Amino acid sequence: MRFSRFLPLAMAGAMVRIMVQTVIWILVLTVVWVTAPPLLGADEDRAIVPRLRELISGSGAEVVGLAVEDTGTGRQILIDERVSLHAASTMKLPVMIEIFRRADRREMRLDQPVRIDDRFASIVDGSEYRLTSDSDSDQLVYRRLGGSMTVIELVERMIVRSSNLATNLLIAKVGADKVTATARKLGADAIQVRRGVEDTRAFQAGLNNTTTALDLMVLLRAVAANRAASRKSCDQMISILAAQEFNSGIPAGLPPGTRVAHKTGEITRHNHDAAIVFPPGRKPYIIVILTRGIAEREKSDRLIASLAREVHRELTGAASTPQSTPQSK
């Protein structure tokens, strides 16, 4: 009887405690909601995404994957970012990352000589195939056949001139499976680097290198944040990417003089560009644009430049005067 007398008071106390805890949780969630970085679909993205989709729909492209992240604010702009497409030469980015990570671990020297050979084994059956200079965008490496070049020289040709021969020589050194594994460690969950370039038997068997816009964004973000390798190696990778000689995609849509560290990729009806953009006076942003289905290179270049222009204006508030950049790859 004595216990029952205090039961209503105990129940009232419990109710008060529950009400106080509820109010605290509401305040915590409100603070989190107010201070959280903007997400895709936030009000500020509702204007830019329709503008980008309008450009895409008017281009005749079958699909365009776009992934943007502002490293200063964390803001992202994403359109079909998880669609997997033929990677073309953008797969050379994770190959470079693997090389520098091995150099950091002292498993490979950047000044190590590599014998230059144009013969490679297909991943399908081990049969030999050869690369020829007339199907490559870089002639310099072929002039060294029978001789040697250093690892860093091959990396530079692989990126700035998109050399297929340099790429295959480097993949033969590190292994395509190891390149993919490193990409996974960095958070790129869908990219597949299966082989070198011009493996016709593999192509016929559907064994291609593939990527998504999101995965390339993740890899470039890791480079920009010095997480892909050591700070020194990431700085060197950015310098190599900034020396890219094919600039009719993303750089063509940006204000003259804007620093762009990027890698392009092109194969039949595919045209890609993946970049770290360094606007003056602010932190960089990452932008990746993958396109499929446009037969004319000039037309897909214009689409990529137009999308880059809109994104740049949105993130920086600066109008873009197109750069004069005639070359593409």
Which CATH superfamily hosts domain 39-316? DD-peptidase/beta-lactamase superfamily (3.40.710.10)
pLDDT band at 64; cut points 50, 70, 90: very high
Distance CA 36, CA 291 (A): 32
Euclidean distance between CA atoms 233 and 238, whole angstroms: 9
β-partners of residue 271 are 266, 291
What pLDDT score does 292 carry?
98
| Residues 189/219, Cβ–Cβ less than 8 Å | no
44: which residues sit within 8 A by CB, 6+ positions away?
38, 75
Residue 258 clears pLDDT 80, i.e. is over it = yes
User: CA–CA separation, 277 vs 57, rounded Å?
Assistant: 25
The type of residue at 192 is Q
Tell me: the pLDDT tens digits for 282-306?
Answer: 999 999 999 999 999 999 999 999 9
pLDDT in tens, 191-204: 999 999 999 999 99
Q: Tell me: the pLDDT tens digits for 202-250?
A: 999 999 999 999 999 999 999 999 999 999 999 999 999 999 999 999 9
pLDDT of residue 318: 72
- Is 278 buried (19+), middle (13-18) or exposed (0-12) by CB count in 10 A? middle
Looking at per-residue confidence, does 42 or 229 come out higher?
A: 229
Q: Is the pLDDT of residue 320 over 60?
A: no
User: Which pLDDT score is estimated for 149?
Assistant: 98
In SS3 terms, the chain reads as CHHHHHHHHHHHHHHHHHHHHHHHHHHHHHHHHHHCCCCCCCCCHHHHHHHHHHHHHCCCCCEEEEEEEECCCCCEEEECCCCCEECHHHHHHHHHHHHHHHHHCCCCCCCCEEECCCEEECCCCCCEEECCHHHCCCCCHHHHCCCEEEHHHHHHHHHHCCCHHHHHHHHHHHCHHHHHHHHHHCCCCCCECCCCCCCHHHHHCCCCCEECHHHHHHHHHHHHCCCCCCHHHHHHHHHHHHCCCCCCCHHHHCCCCCEEEEEEEEECCEEEEEEEEECCCCCCEEEEEEEECCCCHHHHHHHHHHHHHHHHHHHHCCCCCCCCCCCCC
Q: What is the CA radius of gyration of the chain?
A: 25
- Give tens-digit pLDDT for 66-75: 999 999 999 9
> Mean of the per-residue pLDDT values for the chain?
89
Is the pLDDT at 180 greater than 80, yes or no?
yes
Residue 122, pLDDT score: 97
172 is written with which tokens? Answer: 């033969």
**Which residue shows structure tokens 């994104």?**
311
The residue-averaged pLDDT of 257-270 equals 97
Asked whether residue 27 carries a pLDDT value surpassing 80, the answer given is no
Q: What mean pLDDT is predicted for residues 127-148?
A: 96
pLDDT of 88 strictly over 90: yes
Domain ranges of the chain: 39-316
- Overall pTM surpassing 0.75 (yes/no): yes
Residue pair 251/258 in contact by the 8 Å Cβ criterion: yes
More confident position, 321 or 30: 321
Give the residue with greater pLDDT, 320 vs 261: 261
pLDDT at position 42 is 41
**47 — pLDDT class (breaks 50, 70, 90):** confident
